[in-house]
């Protein structure tokens, strides 16, 4: 069972009328489902406006990559000859 990062859901069919989905969402993200499988998230502009983005310092990026390197190793090895 997949964990959704939103309390609101809509189907791909409902997304044909995005204005209605936006009105129902208010300023919260909506999980978009296709046959009960998560396809992605629809995030209204009003929800993004509440977020603040700050650039990460180069040392923070390096530290994050070092922490993730082991988990990413198989993907990196696969991509090496592509």
What's the CA gap between 24 and 6, in Å, rounded? 13
Q: E strand or H helix at 56, and its extent? A: none
Q: Please give the Cα distance from 9 to 6 (Å, whole number).
A: 7
The pLDDT confidence band at residue 1, using thresholds 50, 70 and 90, is low
All domains of the chain in start order, with CATH: 8-79 (3.40.1620)
The model's pLDDT over 12-66, given as tens digits with 9 standing for 90+, comes to 999 899 899 989 888 899 999 999 899 999 888 888 887 788 899 999 999 998 8
């Amino acid at each position: 069972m997949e964990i959704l990062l939103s309390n609101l859901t809509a189907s791909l069919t409902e997304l044909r009328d995005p204005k209605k989905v936006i009105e129902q969402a208010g300023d919260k993200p909506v999980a978009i489902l296709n046959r009960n499988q998560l396809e992605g998230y629809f995030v209204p502009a009003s929800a993004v406006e509440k977020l603040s983005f700050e650039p990460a310092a180069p040392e923070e990026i390096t530290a994050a990559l070092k922490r993730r390197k082991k988990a990413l190793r198989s993907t990196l090895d696969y991509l090496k000859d592509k």
